């Protein structure tokens, strides 16, 4: 399989036009850290954004940063940290799940809408993405959005590209809104709660005026012998201290809670962010299940009644990470039945190629939504050369 790494957007346009002319299917490549995500590649060549690097815009006072798509995420985060700023949505690092090397890129963050625990408070990556440049399937360079948030009339290409997994075009540049780094980050840790009780506690906290920026539950054995229920509070030190005290008062019926600060708390949330409690063994399949937070425990109970599984909860219970044997359908029938009953969707994040080829990786779309998806794909990539079949078979 051949590959190319254009050094400029113009070169990328030329490469795409050539591929389109001969209907050559292209696999979009970033840092290579998430190669196992999505359905197996159905391509003849690769197109990499790896040489499209560099910060193109940084206005700390306006809290906006732009970079070419191949720029390492670490470089963007280091520059922001030097000015006490950060990406709001806490992007996940998939290398621990897939055992990959390389460097995550800022373009891939946008391409998969990569969002971590802070999503419950600050929104997803797409909510902070305000501008993109990309090459469509005709080899045309398209610019959408800019330096400011604004209402959009018609098709919002910025939001459309976020989460498209490279199926609509090659991102060449992205622009994000950023936030100041918090003066203090502290975590309330409740011990020994079962799943249902823990989700009840998280719901009470999220329904309070004290604005947790992280709300997770790790059952016993997920990094510690005892179950842990986590609530993160961020902001100015005095305000954090007050909110911690008030949350303890609101949640006193769930028992006493310890406060974790500093690197201990940072490491704990990094573990939640990267699904580290379920990373090993890598032979297990791994699912992301999204449902109503109150229904998370019933979903896992329904799955566990049919298949042995391990799990933990993020986003107040609305996101369930679940590990299960990759044998057969990797639990797809049991998982999707439980999700259908509760409402929501399930994504197969990690499994062998043969399983990901046989089992729908993303939640199957209803026929009207599939028609819309096919139409959008045809409008942006008429020769269907970008990441064919990566999200849905035949698309």
In tens, the pLDDT along 14-33 reads 999 999 999 999 999 989 99
Same fold, 1-181+365-395 and 276-358: no
Helical pair 237-250 and 195-206, crossing angle rounded to 10 deg: 130
Note if the pTM is more than 0.75.
yes
- Which band of pLDDT confidence, cut at 50, 70 and 90, is reported for residue 150? low
Picking from 230, 218, 221, 216, the residue whose alpha carbon sits closest to that of residue 317 is 216
The Cα 39–Cα 362 span in angstroms is: 9
Q: What is the DSSP letter of 371?
A: H
CATH topology of domain 1-181+365-395: 3.30.465
Does the pLDDT of residue 377 top 90, yes or no?
yes
The Cα 35–Cα 30 span in angstroms is: 9
pLDDT at 1: 53
CA within 13 Å, CB half, 362: 17
pLDDT in tens, 186-210: 999 999 999 999 999 999 999 999 9
**In the chain, which residue ranges form alpha helices assigned H by DSSP?**
9-21, 73-82, 95-98, 106-111, 119-122, 125-128, 157-161, 195-206, 237-250, 262-273, 296-304, 332-342, 353-358, 367-380
Does the pLDDT of residue 388 top 90, yes or no?
yes
| The CATH number of the domain covering residues in 276-358 | 3.30.70.250
Does the pLDDT of residue 372 top 90, yes or no?
yes
Is the CATH number 3.40.50.1970 carried by domain 184-273? Answer: no
Q: Give the residue-averaged pLDDT of 243-259.
A: 97
| Length reported for the chain | 395
pLDDT in tens, 253-298: 999 999 999 999 999 999 999 999 999 999 999 999 999 999 999 9
The Cα 351–Cα 286 span in angstroms is: 7
Residue-range domain boundaries for the chain? 1-181+365-395, 184-273, 276-358
């Amino acid at each position: 399989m051949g590959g190319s790494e254009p050094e400029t957007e113009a070169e990328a346009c030329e490469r795409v036009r050539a591929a389109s002319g001969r209907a050559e299917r292209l696999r979009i490549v970033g840092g290579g850290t998430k190669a196992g995500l999505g359905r197996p590649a159905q391509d003849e060549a690769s197109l990499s954004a790896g040489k499209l690097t560099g910060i193109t815009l940084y206005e700390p006072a306006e809290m906006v940063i732009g970079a070419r798509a191949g720029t390492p995420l670490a470089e963007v985060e280091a520059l922001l940290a030097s000015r006490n700023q950060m990406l709001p949505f806490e992007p996940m690092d998939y290398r621990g799940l897939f055992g990959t090397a390389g460097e995550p890129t800022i373009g891939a963050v946008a391409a998969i809408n990569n969002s971590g625990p802070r999503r419950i408070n600050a929104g997803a990556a797409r909510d902070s993405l305000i501008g993109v440049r990309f090459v469509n399937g005709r080899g045309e360079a398209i610019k959408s959005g800019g330096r400011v948030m604004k209402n959009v009339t018609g098709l919002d290409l910025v939001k459309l590209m976020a989460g498209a997994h490279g199926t609509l075009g090659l991102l060449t540049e992205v622009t994000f809104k950023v936030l100041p780094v918090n003066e203090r980050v502290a975590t309330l840790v409740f011990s020994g709660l079962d799943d249902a009780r823990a989700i009840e506690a998280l719901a009470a906290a999220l329904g309070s005026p004290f604005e947790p920026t992280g709300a997770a539950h790790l059952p016993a054995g997920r990094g510690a012998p005892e179950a842990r229920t986590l609530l993160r509070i961020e902001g100015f030190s005095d305000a954090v201290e007050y909110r911690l005290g008030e949350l303890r008062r609101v949640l006193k019926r769930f028992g006493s809670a310890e406060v974790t600060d500093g690197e201990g708390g940072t490491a704990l949330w990094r573990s939640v962010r990267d699904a580290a409690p379920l990373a090993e063994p890598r032979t297990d399949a791994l699912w992301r299940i999204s449902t109503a937070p109150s229904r998370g425990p019933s979903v896992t109970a329904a799955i566990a009644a049919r298949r042995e599984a391990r799990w933990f909860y993020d986003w107040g219970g609305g996101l369930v990470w679940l590990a299960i044997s990759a044998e057969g359908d990797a639990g797809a029938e049991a998982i999707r039945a439980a999700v259908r009953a509760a409402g929501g969707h399930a994504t197969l994040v990690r499994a062998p190629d043969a399983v990901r080829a046989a089992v729908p990786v993303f939640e199957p779309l209803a026929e009207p939504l599939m028609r819309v998806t096919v139409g959008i794909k045809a409008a942006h990539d008429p020769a269907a050369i970008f990441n064919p079949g990566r999200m849905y078979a035949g698309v």
